[in-house]
């Protein structure tokens, strides 16, 4: 009798596969922002196995893997546009001209290097570059990806049939325009987690959950349908805005944007970022044509706002300067901090008044906590070098009655000991990345021994030199 009573329970326990909740159980996958490589920003749909194997080998050889860059993510363009889906199994057919060993063959090779493989699909009928989408095939595709050994899914938002459109299409990139998307306003009480967008993303989330494999879920719905309100319960990351372009300001057709407009938007949509869930500012354009100062700022801002860090430049052609940006250990440590999950936060806008919505001159002054200390980041959005000052009284977490060792996160060196304020010249579009640690007795002496005593600087200047 006993055994028959127990057996249903046991059977249930035994049949429960290795599942994961959003907080991917029994693993730390997804707790911190994802790091790795993605093909879109450098190759678009012109991809093949060799390009991913090159990227993977470079992640290892350049020491990037050891710094945490472990995902090798395939973006749009991996499937066969003509053959589409297998008529019997309905599985998406891989373009074997591009991937002769299939995705599973590539996954094996990438896994052998100690890296993980990501893939791409879309919640609509087609992907953005018109390859098969996953709508109505969520279960089959999730199972297929799991069978192939995929570890990450980027899930896009193109080709949505009319009946799948949101009742209240909240499309932030069309703000301040008369685009249809924003003519219909949702009632105050409307719950965006009930939107078609949210339902469709949940369908894929649930399908992934049912697989016997951990697959990180990165939603790419451009901030639509107020994704920041339901993103964290649906995925490990959610894009908050349109695509990125390798330019500082401006945009292309309201679809792709420079670094500053994305930053401006992010500052109003970051409150849900913490462990296990990250607002995604899009993949990195570092190395793709920005100036060296802009590359530094772009990388630092994405790192300190805890966005995923996915390299989008060909790693076999990377310059030493660009590589040094990707390899900044201190910024990576801030992004990947085990104890502090929230992003750095602006404490002052600078050029514009606080909380000004402005796509060319967003906030310039940020502070944030990390295991290593209290950090201040000062961005220069102007077209000339500016001396920026961190006034201790203004910085949350700094005490104006105390002395601090100021450390430069770019050079990796201590600058000196300061009280009340610290000033530093910042090149146009560059960012000062600093760490403050309270100076103990004797610290001044120790620094002098290293030849870096307290140095004079713009004393008493509390505002910017404009």
Ligand X SMILES: *[C@@H]1O[C@H](CO)[C@@H](O)[C@H](O)[C@H]1NC(C)=O
Would you please indicate which residues are annotated as catalytic (active-site) residues?
156, 243
**Site track 300-339 with ligand X (rule: CB under 6 A), x = hit:** ----------------------------------------
* Helices 259-266 and 292-304, axial angle in degrees (round to 10): 20
Please, which residue, 13 or 466, has the CB nearer to ligand X? 466
Structure tokens at 458: 């713009």
Q: What is the closest distance, in whole angstroms, from the C-beta atom of residue 218 to ligand X in the complex?
A: 14
Q: Which residues of 32-70 are buried (b: 16+ CB within 10 A; e: fewer)?
A: bbbbbbbbbbbbebebbbebbeebbbbbeebebbebbbb
Q: Which residue is nearest to ligand X (CB)?
A: 397
Contact 291, 373 (CB under 8 A): no
Structure tokens at 117: 């493989």
Structure tokens at 104: 């599973």
Residues 204-233 that bind ligand X (CB under 6 A): 232
Q: What is the three-state SS of 303-314?
A: HHCCCCEEECCC
- Binding piece for ligand X, criterion CB under 6 A, among 156-164, 205-213, 349-357, 439-447: 349-357
Task: Give yes or no for residue 358 binding ligand X (CB under 6 A).
Answer: yes
Q: What is the closest distance, in whole angstroms, from the C-beta atom of residue 185 to ligand X in the complex?
A: 11
Task: Characterize the bridge pairing of strands 365-370 and 373-379.
Answer: antiparallel
- Non-local CB neighbours of 148 within 8 Å, separated by 6+ positions: 102, 103, 104, 107, 119
Please, which residue, 125 or 360, has the CB nearer to ligand X? 360
Residue 23: how many other CB atoms lie within 10 Å = 14
Residue 103: how many other CB atoms lie within 10 Å = 23
Residue 166: how many other CB atoms lie within 10 Å = 22
Residue 382: how many other CB atoms lie within 10 Å = 17
Of 402, 418, 420, 407, nearest to 461 by C-alpha is 420
# binding residues, ligand X (CB under 6 A) = 18
Task: Give yes or no for residue 23 binding ligand X (CB under 6 A).
Answer: yes
Structure tokens at 67: 């710094």
Q: What is the closest distance, in whole angstroms, from the C-beta atom of residue 357 to ligand X in the complex?
A: 4
Residues 133-162 that bind ligand X (CB under 6 A): none
Residues 305 and 265: their CA atoms lie apart, in Å, by 12
Q: What is the closest distance, in whole angstroms, from the C-beta atom of residue 232 to ligand X in the complex?
A: 4
Which listed residue (15, 176, 450, 463) binds ligand X by CB under 6 A?
A: 176
Task: Give yes or no for residue 348 binding ligand X (CB under 6 A).
Answer: no
Which listed residue (104, 352, 428, 437) binds ligand X by CB under 6 A?
A: 352
Please, which residue, 46 or 402, has the CB nearer to ligand X? 402
Contact 58, 103 (CB under 8 A): no
Task: Give yes or no for residue 104 binding ligand X (CB under 6 A).
Answer: no
Q: What is the closest distance, in whole angstroms, from the C-beta atom of residue 29 to ligand X in the complex?
A: 12
Q: What is the closest distance, in whole angstroms, from the C-beta atom of residue 381 to ligand X in the complex?
A: 8
Which listed residue (254, 361, 420, 452) binds ligand X by CB under 6 A?
A: 361
Please, which residue, 272 or 385, has the CB nearer to ligand X? 272
- Binding piece for ligand X, criterion CB under 6 A, among 75-83, 105-113, 358-366, 445-453: 358-366
Residues 203 and 189: their CA atoms lie apart, in Å, by 24
Residues 231-290 that bind ligand X (CB under 6 A): 232, 272, 274, 276-277
Task: Give yes or no for residue 360 binding ligand X (CB under 6 A).
Answer: yes
Please, which residue, 54 or 358, has the CB nearer to ligand X? 358
Please, which residue, 23 or 199, has the CB nearer to ligand X? 23
Q: What is the closest distance, in whole angstroms, from the C-beta atom of residue 302 to ligand X in the complex?
A: 19
**Residue 433, φ and ψ in degrees, nearest 5:** -120, 110
Which listed residue (85, 397, 420, 452) binds ligand X by CB under 6 A?
A: 397
Task: Give yes or no for residue 357 binding ligand X (CB under 6 A).
Answer: yes
Task: Give yes or no for residue 193 binding ligand X (CB under 6 A).
Answer: no
Please, which residue, 18 or 357, has the CB nearer to ligand X? 357
Residues 338 and 333: their CA atoms lie apart, in Å, by 9
Q: What is the closest distance, in whole angstroms, from the C-beta atom of residue 356 to ligand X in the complex?
A: 7
Q: What is the closest distance, in whole angstroms, from the C-beta atom of residue 168 to ligand X in the complex?
A: 15
Residues 363-392 that bind ligand X (CB under 6 A): 369
Beta strands in 220-344 (DSSP E): 237-239, 243-244, 251-252, 256-257, 278-280, 309-311
* C-alpha 298 chain-centroid distance: 12
Residue located via tokens 């490589």: 37
Helix (H, G, I), strand (E, B) or coil at 385: coil
Residues 139 and 145: their CA atoms lie apart, in Å, by 10
Please, which residue, 324 or 342, has the CB nearer to ligand X? 342
Which listed residue (171, 351, 363, 379) binds ligand X by CB under 6 A?
A: 351
In angstroms, how far apart are the furthest CA atoms of the chain? 85
Binding residues vs ligand X (CB under 6 A): 22-23, 175-176, 232, 272, 274, 276-277, 351-352, 357-358, 360-361, 369, 396-397
């Amino acid at each position: 009798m006993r055994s028959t009573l127990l057996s249903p329970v046991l059977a249930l326990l035994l049949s429960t596969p290795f599942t994961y909740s959003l907080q991917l159980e029994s693993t730390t996958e997804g707790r911190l922002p994802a790091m790795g490589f993605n093909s879109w920003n450098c190759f678009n749909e012109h991809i093949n196995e060799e390009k991913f194997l090159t990227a993977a080998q470079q992640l290892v050889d350049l020491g990037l893997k050891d710094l945490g860059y472990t995902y090798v993510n395939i973006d749009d363009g991996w499937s066969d546009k003509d053959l589409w889906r297998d008529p019997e199994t309905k599985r998406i057919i891989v373009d074997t001209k591009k991937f002769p060993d299939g995705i599973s063959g590539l996954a094996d090779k990438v896994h052998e290097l100690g890296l993980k493989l990501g893939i791409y699909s879309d919640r609509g009928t087609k992907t953005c570059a018109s390859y098969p989408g996953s709508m109505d095939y969520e279960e089959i595709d999730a199972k297929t990806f799991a069978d192939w050994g995929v570890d990450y899914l980027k899930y896009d938002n193109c080709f949505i049939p009319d009946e799948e459109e949101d009742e209240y299409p909240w499309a932030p990139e069309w703000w301040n325009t008369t685009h249809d998307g924003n003519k219909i306003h949702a009632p105050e009480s409307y719950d965006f987690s009930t939107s078609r967008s949210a339902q469709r993303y949940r369908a894929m989330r649930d399908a992934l959950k049912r697989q016997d494999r951990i697959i990180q879920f990165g939603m790419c719905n451009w901030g639509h349908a107020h994704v920041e309100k339901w993103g964290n319960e649906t995925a490990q990351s959610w894009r908050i805005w349109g695509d990125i372009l390798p330019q500082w300001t401006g945009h292309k057709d309201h679809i792709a944007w420079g670094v500053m407009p994305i930053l401006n938007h992010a500052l109003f949509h970051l409150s849900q970022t913490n462990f296990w869930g990250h607002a995604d500012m899009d993949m990195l354009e570092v190395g793709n044509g920005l100036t060296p100062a802009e590359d530094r700022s772009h990388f630092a801002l994405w790192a300190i706002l805890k966005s995923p860090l996915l390299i989008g430049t060909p790693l076999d052609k990377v310059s030493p300067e660009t590589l040094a940006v990707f390899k900044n250990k201190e910024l990576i440590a801030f992004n990947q901090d085990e104890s502090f999950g929230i992003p750095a936060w602006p404490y002052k806008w600078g050029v514009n008044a606080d909380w000004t919505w402005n796509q060319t001159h967003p906030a310039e002054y940020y502070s944030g906590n990390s295991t290593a200390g209290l950090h201040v980041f000062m961005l220069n959005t102007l077209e000339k070098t500016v001396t920026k000052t961190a006034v201790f009284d203004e910085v949350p977490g700094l005490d104006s009655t105390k002395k601090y060792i100021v450390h430069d996160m770019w050079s990796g060196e201590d600058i000196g000991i300061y009280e009340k304020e610290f000033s530093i010249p910042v090149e146009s579009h560059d960012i000062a990345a600093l760490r403050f640690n309270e100076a103990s007795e004797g610290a001044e002496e120790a620094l002098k021994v290293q030849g870096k005593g307290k140095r004079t600087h713009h004393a008493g200047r509390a505002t910017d030199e404009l």
